[in-house]
Amino acid sequence: MWYWVVIALAAGATIVLREGSPLRPHAGALFDLADAERLTHLGISPAYLAQARSAGVTPRTSHQLHELRAILSTGSPLSPHLYDYVYQEVKADVALVSLSGGTEINACFVTGNPMAPVYRGEIQTAALGMATAVFDDRGNPVERTKGELVCTRPFPSQPVGLWNDPDRARYLATYFERFPGAWHHGDFAETTEHAGWIIHGRSDSTLKPGGHRIGTAEIYRQLETIDAIVDSVAVAQRWSDDVRIVLFVKLADGVELDAGLERQIRTQILKNTSPHHVPARVVAVSQIPYTKTGKKAEIAVRQMIHGEPVVNTGALANPEALAEYHVPAALRR
């Protein structure tokens, strides 16, 4: 929500920031703030709404929220039953604005419209100034079909390059290599019959637990210091209206994944990265799947743990390795 704060200041609005956990001293603390400061707009995340719902927070009966006109949600997709929670237990006449964009673009590709209806599970519209579209794998525009979120024309807040990238090679490879001439954002999306949008999560290997964007290499670097681990692959598993990080590890001969080793893995990652990088589940496997070009097959692993078909097994050097990733029992809880 940080760039919305900047936009609000530019528009002459007063902003309110709260430091610390939104669940302290209790799960309804942000609604306390909304009442106390007479907020008109409240920016939160799906993870917070899920926590409030699980804790039985019912602002509709416990708070006034007279001035609250809009709840803005971002960081990860907002599930349909959290729409239900907001309208049934928070406030019936609030505009629930789910949105999706990025810090690098300082904007949204899809966002809300206070003059349009809100449909359960859908983001209302493409943002103004954005030629937002969905492409299939061949780069063709598609409607009401899952595909890659793209922007087909330059937009006002488009960055012109990346830091320490003088020839723009990394910039072009990051955003324009997949679909030349179109910004490829790495989100899996589809349009709806209401001209709305649904974001199904990241289409690449980026992890976003609680809306925090994490590169898998940040995790792998920490594991290289642990002799008991030969190799690893980290993916995001959809879980409780968010995602959680699942780490698969290939262990050295004679080593078992016991409580002590799990604790060592989590401590090493926490000490040198952040709490958001720490895996929720650590699972031992005998093989890590790789592509024929030598890259860890993170997307294929993610598809396997969700019971989804792996489209291009022909690109894998060891496709037989995927068998033990098929919805492991350890990931059902």
Q: Could you report the per-residue pLDDT of 154-164, keeping only the tens digit for each?
A: 999 999 999 99
Select the more confidently predicted residue: 35 or 332. Answer: 35
**Residue the block writes with tokens 């692993």:** 301
Order across the sheet with 147-151: list the strands. Answer: 132-135, 147-151, 183-191, 197-202
What is the rounded distance in angstroms from the CA atom of residue 294 to the CA atom of residue 24? 45
CA distance 120 to 301: 30
Question: Tell me, what's the pLDDT at 109?
Answer: 96
Amino acid at 5: V
Residues 6+ away with beta carbon under 8 Å from 204? 186, 299
Residue 113's pLDDT is 95
To 10 degrees, the CA torsion angle through 327, 75, 148, 280? Answer: -20
Domains of the chain by start residue, with CATH? 1-98 (3.40.50.980), 123-203 (2.30.38.10), 209-331 (3.30.300.30)
Confidence class for position 13, pLDDT limits 50, 70, 90: very high
3-state SS, residue 229? strand
Q: In this predicted structure, what is the pLDDT of residue 36?
A: 97
Higher pLDDT, 328 or 8: 8
pLDDT of residue 269: 96
Q: Which two tokens stand for residue 94?
A: 């609030």
- Residue 295's pLDDT band, with cuts at 50, 70 and 90, is confident
Specify the DSSP element, H or E, that contains 169: helix 169-175
pLDDT of 293: 67
- Top-confidence residue, 77 or 36: 36
What is the value of pTM for the model shown? 0.70
Both tokens of 145, joined, read: 């079909």
Q: What is the pLDDT of residues 85-104, one digit of tens each?
A: 999 999 999 999 999 988 88
The share of the chain scoring above pLDDT 90, in percent, equals 65
pLDDT value at 279 more than 70: yes
271 against 206, higher pLDDT: 271
Output the pLDDT for position 203: 72
- Looking at this protein, which amino acid is placed at residue 48? Y
Over 80: is that where the pLDDT of 305 sits? yes
